[in-house]
Chain A
Amino acid sequence: MSIRQGILALLAEGPRHGYQLRQDFEAGTGGTWPLNIGQVYTTLARLERDDLVAVAGDGDPSHKVYDLTDAGRVELTRWFETPVRREDRPRDELAIKLAMAARLPGVDVHAVVQSQRTDTMRALQDYTTLKRGGGSGDLEDDLAWSMVLDSLVFAAEAEIRWLDACETRLARRTPGAGRVRHVDQVEPAAAEQVAR
């Protein structure tokens, strides 16, 4: 869905070749979203079929220059104006995986949660490292880039927090979890005592 709209958005800046579109797309999303050229041409073909783009000039098919049609402009505006609905997004494989793990006997759900968290944390560290690395120097690009990175960072963070919550929920279910809750409740008070 979003590659399609992304290409429309790029073409709104001016006519482009297919390979230019690929380059600009990657630069615009901070290199976090690699595309292969085949995806670009397939998408362009569909857009042409739907009369949203048109080939601007003649020449070598591999050097076709595409441009936005009026319908394409309308479609693009509609896209910007419409918020992304949560139900439109694909189902989360991880959520399903954890749900299944919790149902099935013999699967160590804790291990699943922990390994997932470690992995997500690493990803988060990597995004942070990328962020530190800085962008190309072009302010416009940097802004776009850091916004996309932030989206990944926040998503990863959310996932970690969700995993934390899952862990707490699991701990409550596990027999002997009372002790854990006990610590959660008592320790701040104990710390307070010490502080005095």
Chain B
Amino acid sequence: MTAVLSMREVSRVHGSGAQAVQALRGISLDVTAGELVAVMGPSGSGKSTLLNIAGGLDSPTAGEVFVEGVLLSGLSASKLAEVRRRSAGYVFQELNLVPALTAAENVALPRELDGISARKARIEALAALADVDLADLADRFPDELSGGQQQRVAIARALVGPRRLVLADEPTGALDSVIGEDVMRLLRDRCDAGAAGVLVTHDARLAAWADRVVFLRDGRVVDETGPRPDAGALLAGRAPR
């Protein structure tokens, strides 16, 4: 299976000369459909830079990024925008939704921006909202939704239409742990349903929802983990300490 997101030896330097700061150093990362990859690391480790580069909001100083097989480097700003409309969706900690649009309109936004008719975009948006169990709140404005509901709308928007790459940056940062867990569960479910996800967080508990956790430090991958095939084995071996 080809990766939905593929980063090859990506480096990013902010600034130049004496002020140059190496945010990423030769990162390679593949995320396939159905997979949720967490990127962990302390603040300043380059997590957010990685996420911005993955969606074409920022471009690497070296290396290549492919989204759905499309090479991002060299694309014009409007072509990059097209990639974000069609392939990748962002979920941020806050300020995800346009306050002037209803939930359904927010979800339909990338589709409408892509030139789909408003009616068709709404149908797709309602389907995406149904996937996150928010079909009945479709016509509410963001102000009228709770924080957790807003994040669910954002996830629905990230996956509306043909999009299947979710780029989430501390999506539960502004939520309490129980609501945050619901949002993570939803993200996990969407990935199990076939989406590819990248989750940037400094919180190990959130990262644990991922299939794979990548540890970043100083712009480098220092650790990488996948799940053990047999969870029970661990339990058996774990004695109370």
Contact = CB atoms under 8 A, between A and B. Distances in A.
Interface of A: 2, 31-34, 89-90, 92-93, 114, 117-118, 121-130, 132, 152-154, 156-157, 160-161, 164, 167-168, 180, 183-188, 190-191, 193-194
A186 B21 contact: yes
A114 B208 contact: no
Contacts, number: 105
A121 B213 contact: yes
B64 to A, nearest CB: 21
Closest 9 CB pairs of A and B: A126-B231, A187-B44, A124-B208, A190-B14, A128-B208, A160-B204, A157-B204, A184-B44, A125-B208
Nearest to B228: A122
B215 interface: yes
B22 A153 contact: no
Interface string B194-230: 0000000001110111110101011100111111100
A74 B63 CA distance: 69
A118 B204 contact: no
A122 B228 CA distance: 7
15 contacts: A31-B235, A32-B235, A89-B241, A118-B225, A121-B208, A126-B227, A127-B208, A128-B208, A157-B205, A167-B217, A183-B21, A185-B44, A187-B14, A191-B48, A193-B14
A34 B58 CA distance: 50
Interface string B113-137: 0000000000000000000000000
B236 interface: yes
A118 B205 CA distance: 14
Given A2-B240, A126-B228, A183 B213 contact: no
A21 to B, nearest CB: 17
Contacts of B234: 122-123, 126
Contacts of B225: 118, 121-122, 125
- Name the residue in B46, B58, B213, B226 with the highest tally of chain A Cβ atoms < 10 Å from its Cβ: B213
A92 B205 contact: no
Nearest to A189: B21
B188 interface: yes
Contact of B209 (A31, A33, A128): A128
Contacts of B44: 183-188
Contacts of B188: 132
B208 A132 contact: no
B23 A187 contact: yes
Given A89-B241, A183-B218, A187-B44, A125 B235 contact: no
Nearest to B210: A125
B42 A168 contact: yes
A125 to B, nearest CB: 5
Interface in B167-181: none
Nearest to B224: A118
Contacts of B235: 31-32, 34, 126, 130
B208 A194 contact: no
Interface string B24-57: 0000000000000000001110101100000000
B231 A129 contact: yes
A124 B241 contact: no
A154 B209 CA distance: 14
Contacts of A156: 204, 208
Nearest to B184: A128
B72 to A, nearest CB: 17
A49 to B, nearest CB: 23
A175 B49 CA distance: 27
A113 to B, nearest CB: 9
A157 B209 CA distance: 12
